[in-house]
Amino acid sequence: MLKRLFALGIAAAVIVFDQLSKSWIMQHFQPGGAQRVTDFFDLVYARNTGAAFSLFADQPGWQRIFFIAIALLASAVILVLLQRKSLSLMARIGLGLVLGGALANVFDRLTLGYVVDFLWFHIQQYGWPAFNVADSAIVLGAAFLIFDGMKTTPHHTPNTKTTVDRPSDEVTRCD
């Protein structure tokens, strides 16, 4: 029970941090606004009606309900997975991060009709599409899950005696 609550606590923290950061951006920026922070990073206010990296943002509107449904389905699957007692700590952290990120973006889609993105990394005018804390949590959570899946676990081998055929010490001469 405590292990599951730990993952749900991570999800809740992601949602709170994500929503607070988006609220701050919406209060201090106009849509499309930007503030340079470094030569390679800007804070921006982007309204994303599409999926990750604005995929399908130019579609007529079907994507909002579709992405809400996908995120809710993924969240339900994660909640079922969190019931497993055999999950490692790394898997629980990963699932908590993905759950929090998915639900934070669902909240945006339900309340605003779009997701607020505000982190933009770039080299001059060329850059990675803007993203947010929820997106970062999803990617980090996926990395935790991949790393957890790559861990090798010792395999149980039956206690068997191994024999090795050795060549005879005796030398046979052929004349």
pLDDT tens digits, 47-102: 988 666 555 556 666 777 888 999 999 999 999 999 998 899 999 999 999 999 99
How confident is the model at residue 171, as a pLDDT?
A: 56
Residue 104 lies in a domain: yes
Domain that holds residue 131: 2-150
Catalytic residue among 42, 58, 135, 175: 135
Residue 159 has pLDDT above 70, yes or no: no
Average pLDDT on 101-109 reads 96
- Options 39, 117, 165, 175, the catalytic residue: 117
Residue 167 lies in a domain: no
What stretch of H or E contains 89? Answer: helix 89-111
Indicate whether 156 belongs to any domain: no
Mean confidence (pLDDT) of the chain: 86
18 catalytic residue (yes or no) = no
**Does 91 map to a domain?**
yes
Residue 135 annotated in active site: yes
Q: What domain count does the chain have?
A: 1
Residue 161 has pLDDT above 70, yes or no: no
% of the chain beyond a pLDDT of 70: 79
**Is 129 a residue whose pLDDT tops 70?**
yes
